[in-house]
Amino acid sequence: MNIKEEIAQLKKELINLRREFHKYPELGFQEYRTSKIISSYLEECGLEVKEGIAKTGVTALLKGGEPGRTILLRSDMDALPISEENDIPYKSVNKGVMHACGHDGHMAMLLIAAKILAKHKKEIKGNVKFAFQPNEEDAGAEIMISEGILENPTVDAALGIHLWSPIETGKIGIVSGPIMASSYYFKLIIHGKGGHGGAPHLSINPINCAINIMQAAQNMQTNEMDALKPTVITFCRVNCGSSPIIIPEKIEIEGSIRCLHNGTEEVQKRFEEIIKNICNLHRTTYDLEFKCGNILLNNDYEMTELVKKAGAEVVKNKNILDSEISVMLGEDFAEFAARVPSAFYFIGIANRDKETDFPHHHPHFNIDEDALSIGVEMHIRAVLEYLNNRK
């Protein structure tokens, strides 16, 4: 199998697939058109395809020529509620919806990898599951798992790729251990006593209480948390009041707690302890609820080494970055990594001349399409390394 040559022959198809997905983006659990394209493509590759997993997800199974282990390759599918501002021929035609994170490229890369691997299935020892996951931005992986994606046959390991604008095209970023943070979103409601702005002594102002809580939480983050265990508490939305002369009855605050380490439960416990004590001080009451955005994404050491070995064949060792890679952003692939040995890694797409160095979730986000071939080759080489070469 001449991997590079076969990918080169399919490069135009690879780019066309990515642009098709980009032009017609769909939000989480609404990827109906996307899933039809994916399932039809995989069926044409001769794979066993299942539609409708986690509502709009698609899976496909490649059975190799000899029995062996099973590895899962995952791509996300969903777009974001962003209005695209790029001036490109394949600009989103769906108003207010855009692939501003790279999922369009992820799908294209995995489809081409599936096509090439299917062509050589007799040479493969074991099975490959291709998972196209809906709603990555809001926890679609757990639903896929609950509906049996890791079963029949049992998945032994998993790999995921994310195209990454903080890294230059031609480079790969991966670390063993924590690579993407857990994220828990909180909603805090502080109840006071409303009244006239000119007579604050007759009221209990929840705004004053909220200010103290936000200051105390930042102090907690800075002075109570181990600096070697990154923890970020952010307040992102505040809603209260109707007039400059009316003290409101309540204030609503929303934000997130992110940890690049185990122990988020202790952080949440201390966070609530601070809220409780400050509310008591201000004679207010509160309601607090947490919603899990993502659990901590931990890379397995052996799977990380496997990715590095495959990467050396694709971009050379000097272009594999293994420090200052971990980020405080969350990633739904963590649900797979919590259940089977896994590795998740970044493929650089930043090229200033092509204007592909905008941050993710930006209305000008775009992909250096030269990076797509790297992703395809990484998928293929990692699969062969795991199934055919590893004991």
Catalytic residues: 301, 369
Residues 257, 264: contact at Cβ < 8 Å?
yes
Residues 6+ apart with CB under 8 A from 19: 89, 90, 104
Residues 163, 21: contact at Cβ < 8 Å?
no
101 is in an annotated binding site: yes
162 is in an annotated binding site: yes
279 is in an annotated binding site: no
Residues 106, 121: contact at Cβ < 8 Å?
no
385 is in an annotated binding site: no
Q: The tokens 């000119």 sit on which residue? A: 198
Strand partners, 234: 256
201 is in an annotated binding site: no
Q: Measuring CA to CA, how many Å separate 45 from each of 39, 63, 112, 119, 159? A: 10, 12, 10, 8, 21
354: DSSP letter: G
Q: Measuring CA to CA, how many Å separate 163 from each of 33, 109, 171, 366, 370? A: 22, 10, 11, 10, 11
Structure tokens at 127: 């099975």
Q: Where are the alpha helices (DSSP H) in 192-343?
A: 206-223, 264-282, 301-314, 334-337
Separation of alpha carbons 231 and 234, rounded Å: 10
Residues 328, 232: contact at Cβ < 8 Å?
yes
Greatest extent of the chain over all pairs of C-alpha atoms, in Å: 81
Separation of alpha carbons 41 and 31, rounded Å: 15
Separation of alpha carbons 105 and 15, rounded Å: 8
Binding residues are: 101, 103, 137, 162, 361
Binding residues for Mn(2+) are: 101, 103, 137, 162, 361
